[in-house]
Chains A and B, each alone.
Chain A
Amino acid sequence: MSTNIPSNLNYTKEHEWTLTEGDIVTIGITDFAQSALGDIVFVEVPEVGADLKVGATFGVVESIKSVSDLYSPISGEVIAKNNDVEASPEKINQDAYGSWLIKVKMKDHSEINKLLSAEQYQEFCNTSH
């Protein structure tokens, strides 16, 4: 299975990636996740203004054969969602790291430190499957 894991991102054990730029965290699902899911056909993410709690579900990704919950890597307020990806979910299969889902203004910077590094995530993918 392909495991493209960019070193500039952080990761969760639920196979989400995060890009931190100041207070703003961009969130998507990893290449490992898109490959495991197969053809992604539906994405549901919260509206702008929604409040996210770390570890809580905030949306779903559906492939032809399954439904997977999305878990928030951090707490904060949704400030943008990717309408392109909602309209064309297959873009995640084509480019998981180019197809972000939401941008969140984070509340607590320390939550970032609890996320996995690229190296740790690679290790997690290797051992969990």
Chain B
Amino acid sequence: MSELLRTNLYDEHVKLGGKIVPFAGWEMPVQYTSVKDEALAVRNSVGVFDVSHMGEFFIEGKDAEAFADYLVTNDILNAPTGKAVYSPLCRENGTVVDDLIVYKIAPGRVMICVNASNIEKDFDWMKTKKTGFDCSFTNLSHVFSLLALQGPKALETLKSFVNELPDLEYYSVFETSIGSHPVILARTGYTGEDGFEIFGHHQTIKDLWKNLMAVGVTPCGLAARDVLRLEVCYPLYGHELNDEVNPYDAGLAWTVKPLKTKFIGKDILESKPAKYKLVKLILEKGIPREGYAVLNAKNEVIGQVTSGTISVVLNKGICLARIQIDKAPTDEVFSIDIRNKAYPAQLVKKPFVTGGHK
């Protein structure tokens, strides 16, 4: 692997005592003080994540919305300007290249935010699909820093720093400024809580980070982010999603709109092919981890944990697991093999934790 990259806030993380680890080609803070305290700050108050490693692509021109709509499985064309739309990005065979958020910032101006580990793969893939669309397509990942300010107090915290902050709907986007510096503000996040993602130039975001620290916002690392997203059952690329599964395999049927006239993967995805089922399991005892086997009532292996941890809210082991659809037990009896012992796991239909987002 080539040299690890650092966000513009790297020195700030080190100053705050952040423990730095390699992640998706970047040196990122995994935690500052305590994963639990950081995660609970987001659930109960407000925390901030440096997610500047993520990628930002811009599509601009007459066909901006049409191109974005063609690339992804979810419906971009019919979403109003000012909306953000979560979607998988698929290949013709339906497998998932990445999952991303499309932001309809203004007519003819669309931003796509992608996972750090997939920036080049996504950009190269999308570029090959642009033929026939009248728009520009640029990778501006290196130009932007990005903060995720998350938690029930995110709105009141951000109000004092941003020139204009209307009460945006959840999953909407708005251009505003901090002082004289333009920022793109979205009411999105990866925690299930209310909150904002703030895209801006490096110095603007660094100043904002310092200001947020000065008013006591909790800095949060990757480990807290992972617990928070898993508590509300958001998938993570490389775990629930990868190049070998389609959106139906990962519980994302709601993000595929077969009625759209054309999009990459439509021919295959129309028939809703699924080899797997993604299930949510909670344990009274034991902590499930990625790769652990999922067992049926006869202790036969029927799948694997894709992400597992202990919930800081529930104080119980929770996981998402990929089950082979032809082996999904009708009696819904599951257990997880933890160090050669079967721990009973309860199937749940709703996310483990209900986030407070609007």
8 A Cβ contacts from B281-330 to A: 286-287, 289, 309-310, 312, 315
Q: Does A48 reach chain B (CB closer than 8 Å)?
A: no
Q: Which of A42, A60, A93 contacts B310 (CB 8 A)?
A: A42
From B19, B31, B223, B310, give the contact of A41 (CB < 8 A).
B310
B211 in contact (CB, < 8 A): no
Q: Which residue of A lies closest to B309 (CB)?
A: A64
Question: With A38-B31, A41-B287, A41-B310 in contact, is A65–B226 under 8 Å at CB?
Answer: yes
Please, which residue of chain B has its CB at the minimum distance from the CB of A65? Answer: B223
Task: Please tell me if B36 contacts chain A, counting CB pairs below 8 Å.
Answer: yes
Number of chain A interface residues as a range: 10 to 19
Given B35, B286, B315, B339, which contacts A65 in the complex, CB threshold below 8 Å?
B35
Interface status of B44 (Cβ within 8 A of chain A): no
Q: Is the CB of B30 within 8 A of A65?
A: yes
Q: Which residue of A lies closest to B317 (CB)?
A: A42
**B286: chain A residues within 8 A (beta carbon):** 42
A77 within 8 A of B: no
* Known A-B contacts A38-B31, A41-B287, A42-B310; A64 and B36 likewise in contact (beta carbons under 8 Å): yes
- 0 or 1 for each of A50-66: is its CB under 8 Å from B? (1 = yes): 00000000001011110
- The digit string for B50-65, where 1 denotes a CB below 8 A from any CB of A, is 0000000000000000
B34 within 8 A of A: yes
**A43→B211 CA distance, assembly (Å):** 40
Q: B339 touching A60 by the CB < 8 A rule?
A: yes
Supposing A38-B223, A39-B36, A42-B310 touch, asked if A62 and B287 sit within 8 A by C-beta, the answer is: yes
Per DSSP, are chain B's interface residues mostly helix, strand or loop, or mixed? Answer: mixed
Do A64 and B339 touch (CB < 8 A)?
A: no
Which chain B residues lie closer than 8 Å to A63 at the CB level? 35
Q: Is B227 an interface residue (CB 8 A)?
A: yes
A87 at the interface (CB under 8 A from B): no
Closest partner residue, chain A, to B34 (CB atom):
A39
Cα-based distance from A38 to B223 in the complex (angstroms): 10
A96 to B240, CA, bound (A): 36
Closest residue of chain A to B31 (Cβ to Cβ) is: A38
Q: A125 in the interface, Cβ–Cβ < 8 Å?
A: no
Contact flag A42-B309 (CB < 8 Å), given A64-B223, A65-B30, A65-B35: no
Q: Is the CB of B289 within 8 A of A67?
A: yes
- Chain B residues numbered 205-234 whose CB sits less than 8 Å from any CB in chain A: 223, 226-227
CB-based nearest B residue for A59: B339
| Known interface pairs A64-B227, A65-B30, A67-B289; A38-B35 also in contact (CB < 8 Å) | yes
Docked complex Cα distance between A67 and B289 (Å): 9
Q: Could you tell me the distance between the alpha carbons of A60 and B339 in the complex, rounded to whole angstroms? A: 10
Interface flags for A82-107 (1: CB within 8 Å of B; 0: not) read 00000000000100000000000000
When distances are taken between beta carbons in the complex, the residues of chain A under 8 Å from B36 are 39, 64
Question: CA separation between A39 and B19, bound complex, in Å?
Answer: 13
Q: From A66, which residue of chain B is reached at the shortest CB distance?
A: B289
Return the chain B residue nearest A35 by Cβ.
Answer: B19
CA distance A41 to B34 in the complex (A): 12
Min C-beta distance of B287 to chain A, whole Å: 5
Residues of A within 8 A of B312 (CB): 64
Q: How far is the CA of A18 from the CA of B63 in the complex (A)?
A: 69
CB distance from A45 to the nearest CB of B (A): 13
Given A38-B35, A39-B34, are A64 and B289 also a contact pair (CB < 8 Å)? no
Can you pick out 8 interface pairs between chain A and chain B where the beta carbons lie within 8 Å of each other?
Answer: A38-B19, A39-B36, A41-B287, A41-B315, A62-B287, A64-B227, A64-B309, A65-B309
* List of 7 A-B pairs having minimum Cβ-Cβ separation, nearest first: A64-B35, A65-B223, A39-B36, A41-B310, A39-B35, A39-B34, A62-B287
Residues of A within 8 A of B (CB): 38-39, 41-42, 44, 60, 62-65, 67, 93
Q: Beyond the given A41-B310, A64-B309, could you list 12 further A-B residue pairs with CB under 8 A, ordered by the A residue number?
A: A39-B35, A41-B287, A41-B315, A42-B287, A42-B310, A44-B339, A62-B310, A64-B36, A64-B223, A64-B227, A65-B226, A93-B34
